[in-house]
């Protein structure tokens, strides 16, 4: 869609949207922090999900994929602190029990419940604690509960992630809100990342799935922290249709406006995950320009984003452009190295470090000032076409190693 769409940023996350309630509380999975969240639509909602591509999928992922095959859902129940992954038959039984308990507490069907878990792999869920927590969470559901739900889904996150926007479609306001968690084990397709999005748009299951896939491809699937894809990832969107716009059932102008709004929420949440990357000191945007295809540009951008050599150089504030070009070269994409230009950029300026695949006598002093900033941009121009993409990553620090060396203990 070519026209700009005015969007108002609003508070509340998932409960910024009319007809949705949420809650978050501590049920005892973790020592003290909130560890169980509930999101509820007061009326039946269209629903869609995108899930981890890891062959090893946690029980809640398998169950939720089954439930969302209907294109409908009304509730999301999430526990943190325990992934319920690699837990065998008991794990699947516990995931189903979470759906049944939630359905009973809310007066809906178990098949209308999305179940998600995040945390340590290979440990059975403490179902007695979760059962009490679900009923308590149902009692505490509130139209102001989005922020508490955002807190309850965190694991190694240092802060909750929530975002919501409102815009007009043909003069009628529509809202999209979301919450997310993720800090480590973050890599495309997707990572140890959960995101739950709500909207009051009326949209068919087919078009909601199409919109979500498109939005995720430009956001959550273009971020990486450490190159590891988790067992539990999912992005789920619920659309309750309470806005007054006609149902979206085709690629109409209304669809593209909704898509633009959904993309904005997904992108802001995805960027917050990278900013909160485990041990991260830098937030890095990688832009690939002049590529011969979008797919090739994506592979190149993500190859640079996942390169430990690039990420450690960024942590050390070293303008090592050779590592960037080498990371492009291992992406499995055909391009002409002798055409590539590389730039480093931040709010203090821009420095070109390579032209035509060769180093320039650039200012090390200026490059150091650029890399000393918290937010950095790497620009790679292939000078070979019209396609461009962006990816987001962070640096790799001593703190990342410390966090992950002692995650279970």
Beta bridge mates, 163: 178
Beta-strand relationship, 194-199 and 234-239: parallel
DSSP state of 15: G
- Please state, in angstroms and rounded to a whole number, the distance separating the CA atoms of residues 366 and 343: 12
The residue among 194, 162, 157 whose CA lies nearest residue 178 is: 162
Contact of 158 with 189, CB cutoff 8 Å: no
Helix (H) or strand (E) holding 306: helix 294-306
Catalytic residue among 87, 192, 229, 261: 192
The residue among 48, 52, 45 whose CA lies nearest residue 69 is: 48
Those residues whose C-beta lies under 8 Å from the C-beta of residue 354, and which sit 6 or more positions away, are: 321, 325, 340, 341, 342, 360
Residue 231 tokens, joined? 């067992």
172 is catalytic: no
Q: How many residues does the chain have?
A: 409
Helix axes 308-315, 321-329, angle to 10 degrees: 160
DSSP annotation string for 331-379: SS----GGG-EEEEEETTEEEEEEETTEE----HHHHHHHHTSSEEEEE
Active site residues: 192
């Amino acid at each position: 869609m070519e026209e700009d769409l005015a969007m108002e940023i609003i508070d509340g996350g998932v409960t910024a949207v009319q007809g949705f309630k949420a809650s978050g509380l501590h049920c005892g999975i973790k020592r003290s922090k909130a560890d169980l969240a509930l999101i509820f639509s007061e009326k039946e909602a269209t629903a869609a999900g995108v899930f981890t591509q890891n062959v090893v999928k946690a029980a809640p992922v398998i169950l939720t994929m089954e439930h969302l095959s209907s294109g409908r859902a009304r509730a999301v129940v999430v526990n943190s602190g325990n992934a319920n992954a690699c837990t065998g038959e008991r794990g699947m039984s516990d995931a189903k029990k979470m759906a049944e308990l939630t359905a009973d507490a809310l007066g809906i069907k178990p098949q209308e419940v999305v179940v998600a878990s995040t945390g340590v792999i290979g440990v059975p869920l403490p179902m007695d604690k979760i059962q009490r927590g679900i009923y308590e969470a149902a009692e505490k559901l509130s139209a102001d509960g989005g922020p508490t739900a955002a807190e309850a889904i965190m694991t190694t996150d240092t802060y909750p992630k929530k975002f919501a926007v409102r815009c007009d479609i043909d003069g009628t306001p529509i809202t999209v809100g979301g919450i997310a968690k993720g800090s480590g084990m973050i890599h495309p397709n997707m990572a140890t990342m959960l995101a739950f999005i709500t909207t009051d748009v009326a949209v068919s299951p087919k078009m909601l799935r199409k919109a979500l896939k498109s939005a995720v491809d430009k956001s959550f699937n273009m971020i990486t922290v450490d190159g590891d894809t988790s067992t539990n990832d999912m992005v789920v969107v619920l659309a309750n249709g309470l806005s007054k716009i006609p149902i979206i059932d085709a690629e109409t102008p209304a669809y593209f406006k909704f898509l633009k709004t959904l993309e904005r929420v997904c992108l802001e949440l995805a960027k917050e995950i990278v900013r909160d990357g485990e041990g991260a000191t830098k937030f890095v945007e990688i832009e690939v320009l002049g590529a011969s295809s979008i797919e090739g540009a994506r592979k190149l951008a993500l190859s640079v984003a996942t390169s430990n050599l690039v990420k450690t150089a960024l942590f050390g504030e070293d303008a090592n452009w050779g590592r960037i070009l080498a990371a492009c070269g291992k992406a499995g994409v055909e391009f002409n190295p002798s055409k590539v230009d590389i730039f480093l950029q931040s709010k203090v300026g821009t420095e070109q470090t390579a032209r035509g695949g060769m180093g320039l006598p650039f200012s090390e002093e200026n490059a150091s000032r650029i890399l000393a900033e918290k937010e950095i941009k790497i620009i790679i121009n292939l000078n070979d076409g019209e396609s461009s993409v962006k990816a987001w990553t962070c640096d790799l620090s001593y703190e990342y190693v410390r966090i992950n060396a002692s995650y279970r203990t």
